[in-house]
């Protein structure tokens, strides 16, 4: 089995072919951003650039950054007219303060939330807005619990394997307020997300997004763990030939004071 996304080394073809829902759902968030012609906007964690392009289509001056070089390479190939750079959410810098920072389905990968918020804050003009959606408290809880119990079943310690940060509204809004933001909108909601590829959907999702849980296992052990996880989750997350991931999203709009 390929270790597809370990070490930030994403398989961008697999990402674009089988996980297009990541940016398709993000289109709702664009409405919340409401980009205007001439605005300077950063797409933080732009992936392969599909939402960055939508922001550009609104007439904004948009810049996409992502920490994964493979994503940036693909984004540049997809949309050569847009500026894309490799940069990290926890320590990026801008040349000139921005009107808005937009981020879809990325900040749950950034455990140093304080550093990311500090970077976002320093990048905005006073009055500039931060519009984000990512995994919130309870996100993929059933999947993570199944992975942890399958690993514990073969005596693998799991404490250090979970790569995600899924805050509550209270926790994240507090961090934002502490760093000089006014939180004007916050929502936490369940968004059960059907996965592509029928019966293979859960295995594909785990390989793409949860590979840190499998790092260090042999190929055979990885297959075994995924089988156990599928058996465990089937009664709740598999219906009529489709797997559904138990996503819960946090959506935030905050203004720099
Ligand atoms: C999410 O979008 O919620 C998510 C994606 C991959 C791994 C974990 C969470």
Q: Give nearest CA residue, ligand 1 atom 2.
A: 105
CATH number at residue 251: 3.40.50.150
| Residue 172, in any domain of the structure | yes
Whether 174 is in a domain gets the answer yes
Give domain status of residue 223, yes or no.
no
How much is the pLDDT for 198?
97
Cα distances (Å, whole numbers) of residue 54 to 48, 75, 105, 237: 12, 13, 16, 32
Residue 6 lies in a domain: no
| Distance (Å) from CA 79 to ligand 1 centroid | 24
Task: State which residues form the domain around 190.
Answer: 12-137+164-195+247-256
Under the banding of pLDDT at 50, 70 and 90, the label for residue 230 is very high
Domain count, the chain: 1
Total residues belonging to the chain: 257
The tens digit of pLDDT for each residue in 243-253 reads 999 999 999 99
- The three-point CA angle 202-206-211 to 5° equals 170
Q: Give the residue whose CA is nearest to atom 7 of ligand 1.
A: 209
Nearest CA to ligand 1 atom 9: 135
User: pLDDT class for 205, splitting at 50, 70, 90?
Assistant: very high
pLDDT digits (tens, 9 = 90+) for 124-143: 999 999 999 999 999 999 99
User: Is position 202 within any domain?
Assistant: no
Among 106, 140, 211, 245, say which to mutate for ligand 1: greatest number of ligand atoms within 8 Å of CB.
140
Q: Whose CA is nearest to atom 3 of ligand 1?
A: 135
Is residue 148 a part of any domain in this protein?
Answer: no
3-state per-residue secondary structure call for 35-96: CCCCCEEEEECCCCCHHHHHHHHCCCEEEEEECCHHHHHHHHHHCCCCEEEECCCCCCCCCC
Task: Give yes or no for residue 251 CB within 6 A of ligand 1.
Answer: no
3-state secondary structure at position 112: coil
Residue 251 lies in a domain: yes
DSSP 145-165: HHHHHHHHTTT---TTT----
Tokens of 227: 């089988």
In a domain, 206, yes or no: no
């Amino acid at each position: 089995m390929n270790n597809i996304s370990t070490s930030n080394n994403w398989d961008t073809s697999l990402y674009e072919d089988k996980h297009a829902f990541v940016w398709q759902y993000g289109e709702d968030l664009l409405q919340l951003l409401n980009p205007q012609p001439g605005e300077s906007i950063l797409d933080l964690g732009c992936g392969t650039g599909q939402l960055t392009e939508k922001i550009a289509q609104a007439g904004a001056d948009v810049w996409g950054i992502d920490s994964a070089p493979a994503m940036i390479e693909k984004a540049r190939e997809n949309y050569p007219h847009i500026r894309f750079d490799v940069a990290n959410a926890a320590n990026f810098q801008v040349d000139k303060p921005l009107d808005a920072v937009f981020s879809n389905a990325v900040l749950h990968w950034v455990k140093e939330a304080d550093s990311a918020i500090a970077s976002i804050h320093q990048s905005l003009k006073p009055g500039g807005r931060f519009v984000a959606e990512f995994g919130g408290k309870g996100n993929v809880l059933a999947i993570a619990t199944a992975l942890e119990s399958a690993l514990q079943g073969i005596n693998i310690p799991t404490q250090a394997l979970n790569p995600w940060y899924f805050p509550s509204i209270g926790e994240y809004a507090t961090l934002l307020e502490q760093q000089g933001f006014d939180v004007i909108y916050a929502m936490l909601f369940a968004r059960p997300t059907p996965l592509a590829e029928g019966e293979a959907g859960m295995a594909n999702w785990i390989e793409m997004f949860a590979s840190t849980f499998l790092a260090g296992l042999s190929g055979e052990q990885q297959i075994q763990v995924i089988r156990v996880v599928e058996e465990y989750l089937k009664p709740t997350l598999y219906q009529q030939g489709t797997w559904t991931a138990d996503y819960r999203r946090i959506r935030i709009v905050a203004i720099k004071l």
